[in-house]
Amino acid sequence: MPGDDHPARRALRRWLAHHPRPTGRQLAEAGYVVPHWPPPWGLGADPLSQLVIDDELARAGVRRPVNPIGIGWAGPTLVAAGTDEQKDRWLWPMLAGEEFWCQLFSEPGAGSDLAALTTRADADGDGWVVTGHKVWTSFAHIARFGILLARSDPDAPRHRAISYFVCPMDAPGVSVHPLVDMTGEHAFNEVYLDEVRLPGDHLVGSPGQGWELAKVTLGNERVSLSGEGVLWGRGPTADDLLAEVRASGGAPDPVLRDRLVSVFCESEILKILRRRTLSAVLAGRAPGPEASVRKAISDRHGQRVMDLGRDLAGPWGTLGGTGVGRDAEGRPAGPATAWPASTWAEGFLYSPALTIGGGTAEVQRDIVAERVLGLPRGVQRPGGTNGPASA
Ligand SMILES: Cc1cc2nc3c(=O)[nH]c(=O)nc-3n(C[C@H](O)[C@H](O)[C@H](O)COP(=O)(O)OP(=O)(O)OC[C@H]3O[C@@H](n4cnc5c(N)ncnc54)[C@H](O)[C@@H]3O)c2cc1C
């Protein structure tokens, strides 16, 4: 890591001296939310400068605004295809964390085979009227806008029939219904769109370009879901689990030891893949198939780590979520560790989602087979999928 004299570090220190507790808006306007984006939203920063900026912000205890679907997925698509007016209107509040975004892609009959979506957008004067049913829409209940795919030309071939819109979530005709998952959390929703009127300037790109733009969004989705924690970048890592085990005196059971070694080896491989994916993105290249390879491995890895955490915790992990490193009566067997006791039980319940969201495990393997290994298409599927987006 470059030291005190790196220009990006010096510039950020000077800026922080004037903004010791920056707001989301100040961070966004200074380019520190997405330094790798082009100006005016970012700084066009090279990979090393980005690492330096991340490091310096972390040292100063400054956190960036949280808006994963907006900043991670919708934003890059708008940068690539939005008009100047659209970028001006939507990107600043998105980057500042003032307006939260969601993604209205999946439908009850269109998940992996996303091009089968049936939500319709009918041209009406200089705008559109949208009717349909979306599902699994994360954060729709708190979002100000959603990126929306809808079929705008019933006569065109499937992949040229879809358009990409921005939908205000408070528009008349939008209704959001909660879906509670098995952890007990309400994160995703069903969304009904009943003759929702969208102005013409809410179309991104041109009519029929939606499939092409969805690929940009989904490519970035696969990168965004690839942070360090095993739950799509959040939560603990395999190293954290090993630290818990060490802190509580080790794992004498040979089967558990074997599983610990396996997750450790996987996590080392994933660290290398993550660096490759990130350096491609940071260097401004489109996320390549390595993002799919990583997702294919890391989702299963997350499930294995959480399974193992739950098994190491024994009955306490299932009954009370008391965590790894407890004795038979549920008392801590070693020094306190970094993760709350409930981490492993909750993570175990959440982890099945890993191989479904953002493109299922099977779909990721299809992409790797076709794009990386050059194998012929195996299963005759009708078109693109919410993953490969293969037109
Ligand atoms: C936590 C979470 C958050 C989500 N958030 C959002 C969101 O914000 N917005 C949004 O639009 N969607 C969201 N989704 C939905 C997600 O994108 C879909 O669940 C996913 O694309 C799979 O679609 P599906 O559920 O319809 O399953 P299906 O596509 O019906 O798949 C069912 C099974 O068939 C298999 N299968 C399907 N096609 C093939 C094939 N060609 N070859 C081999 N096997 C195949 C799948 O792998 C799977 O096992 C979320 C999902 C989860 C779990």
Q: How far apart are CA 340 and CA 114, in angstroms?
A: 38
Prediction pTM value = 0.88
User: Would you state the pLDDT for residue 227?
Assistant: 58
Q: What is the mean pLDDT of residues 9-19?
A: 97
Q: What is the mean pLDDT of residues 241-266?
A: 92
With residue 151 as reference, give the H or E element that holds it. Answer: strand 145-151
Do the beta carbons of residue 151 and residue 119 sit within 8 Å? yes
Among 112, 113, 119, which residue has the most ligand 1 atoms within 8 Å of its CB, making it the best to mutate?
112
pLDDT band at 296 (very low <50, low <70, confident <90, very high): confident
Q: What is the mean pLDDT of residues 184-203?
A: 96
Q: Could you identify the atom of ligand 1 that is nearest to the CA of residue 113?
A: 29
- CB-based pocket (< 6 A), ligand 1: 102-103, 105-106, 111-112, 136-138, 188, 353, 356-357, 359-360, 362-363, 366, 379, 381, 385-386
User: What does each C-alpha distance from 262 to 16, 17, 77, 239 come to in angstroms?
Assistant: 43, 46, 38, 12
Q: Which residue has the higher pLDDT, 36 or 86?
A: 86
pLDDT (tens digit, 9 = 90+) per residue, 299-318? 999 999 999 988 887 776 66
Beta bridge partners of 121: 130
CB atoms < 10 A from the CB of 268, how many? Answer: 11
Q: What is the mean pLDDT of residues 318-330?
A: 52
CB atoms < 10 A from the CB of 258, how many? Answer: 10
Statement: residue 221 has pLDDT above 80: no
User: Would you state the pLDDT for residue 383?
Assistant: 43
DSSP per residue, 268-308: HHHHHHHHHHHHHHHTTPPP-HHHHHHHHHHHHHHHHHHHH
Poorest-confidence range of 32-41, 63-72, 232-241, 314-323?
A: 314-323
- Secondary structure tally for the chain: helices H, strands E: 11, 8
Do the beta carbons of residue 85 and residue 79 sit within 8 Å? no
Mean pLDDT of the chain: 87
User: Would you state the pLDDT for residue 290?
Assistant: 73
288 CA to centre of ligand 1 in angstroms: 21
User: Would you state the pLDDT for residue 33?
Assistant: 96
Q: Which residue has the higher pLDDT, 337 or 244?
A: 244
Do the beta carbons of residue 334 and residue 247 sit within 8 Å? yes
Phi and psi (nearest 5°) for 311?
-65, -40
Which amino acid is it at 235?
Answer: G
pLDDT (tens digit, 9 = 90+) per residue, 255-290? 999 999 999 999 999 988 888 877 776 676 766 677
User: Would you state the pLDDT for residue 359?
Assistant: 84
Q: How far apart are CA 372 and CA 12, in angstroms?
A: 40
pLDDT (tens digit, 9 = 90+) per residue, 17-27? 999 999 999 99
Has 221 been annotated as catalytic? yes
User: Would you state the pLDDT for residue 325?
Assistant: 52
Poorest-confidence range of 113-122, 191-200, 374-383?
A: 374-383
Beta bridge partners of 164: 149, 204
pLDDT (tens digit, 9 = 90+) per residue, 93-106? 999 999 999 999 99
Instruction: Give the tokens for residue 151.
Output: 């079929």
Do the beta carbons of residue 174 and residue 198 sit within 8 Å? no
Q: How far apart are CA 44 and CA 34, in angstroms?
A: 9
User: Would you state the pLDDT for residue 336?
Assistant: 46
